[in-house]
Structures are given as structure tokens and as C-alpha cells.
Amino acid sequence: MELVFATNNKNKVKEIIALLLPSIEILTLSEIGCTEEIEETENTLEGNAKLKANYITKKYGYDCFADDTGLEVDTLNGAPGVYSARYAGENVTYEDNVQKMLREMKGKTNRKAQFRTVVALNFKGKQYLFEGNCKGEITNNKHGNDGFGYDPIFRPLGFKQTFAEMSLEEKGKISHRGLAVKKLVSFLK
């Protein structure tokens, strides 16, 4: 089975491939000739995931899936949420976002947060949504060198390491994206 994963984020592609069944072949946007950036213009994770999946299905005719992920921090009233990738502004690096989060959290005692991923699957003419959540906390400092995004400052509940200190396999078992993709795989079986 071939499915397009509607993202240009190589880190996400790597995580997803590690979670999928060998019978599911992932096609990237570049492999189908999609060179344009699909803008995330919706104000919810669900909306952005649907928007990206629908764009590929309508324009290129493929069954596909797309995700959107947000870091939701309690003391920041759920921010950055849907704006997690652009938290420090447009065209910023992961490091810019991490540093802004550390500044915002300085001196705060409530450090509870969660990552939430929504996957939209367009499959055989229908759309399905799958969600994964991972509760945890924002650390005071960066820890670890693996992963991407906010991984160096997010410690999942019940663990001593941040996502950036875990292997891809360890993270995949408990992460928001891993849990959403497990639901997707279960559906496709």
C-alpha cells in the first residue's frame, strides 16, 4: 500500500517510517512532485491536518495523511498550541522556539504541558482523524541531542529523560505522534 505523507519535515518522516508496517510504503511530497509549501492557515490542529491532506488528495489524487502537532503549556493557557512551529515568529529555527519557551517559563512553578498530534487520513474517498496526546512538563534547561523541535525541554510524565534523550524507538512508543500513528496503523490493518 502506498500513502503520501504530506510534510516536508524530514524529522517527522523518519519518525513515521519507524512506526509503520513494512507493507505501507511512504511517498514524500518531493517523490510525488509537490514542491510547494502547504501553508497551515487553520486555527486548530485538526484543521491544519485536514487542510494538508485535502490539498494533496485534490491536487495529486493520492491517498495520503498529514499531521499537525502542538505543544500546549498549562500556565501559558495552552500556548503555543497550533502556533508551536511559529512560536518565536515566522521563519524561525527550533532553537529560537525553545529559547522563547524557556524565557516564558522562567520562574514558573506550574510546568505541566502536553504534546498533541492530530493525523488526518484521506483513504479511499473518506477522511479519518486520529489523535495522540503525551502529558509531561517543560524542563528548566535543555537536555539531550536527539529529536527535534521542543524535544530537549519536554519530559514525558513518568520519565527522567526528555524526548531528546530518548532513542527514536523509545520516543515512538510513548509520544503524541507515535500514539496517533499507532491508531492509524491499527485502522489500516
Which of these is catalytic: 68, 74, 146, 151?
68
Which tens digits make up the pLDDT trace of 81-101?
A: 999 999 999 989 999 999 999
User: What pLDDT score was predicted for residue 17?
Assistant: 87
Active site residue 68: yes
User: What pLDDT score was predicted for residue 49?
Assistant: 97
Ranges under pLDDT 70 in the chain = none
Which burial class, exposed, middle or buried, applies to 33 when counting CB atoms under 10 A from its CB (0-12, 13-18, 19+)?
exposed
CA distance 150 to 41: 21
pTM: 0.92
- Assess contact for 72 and 116: CB atoms under 8 A: yes
User: What pLDDT score was predicted for residue 139?
Assistant: 98
The domain made up of 2-188 has a fold known as Maf protein (3.90.950)
User: What pLDDT score was predicted for residue 145?
Assistant: 93
CA distance 184 to 106: 37
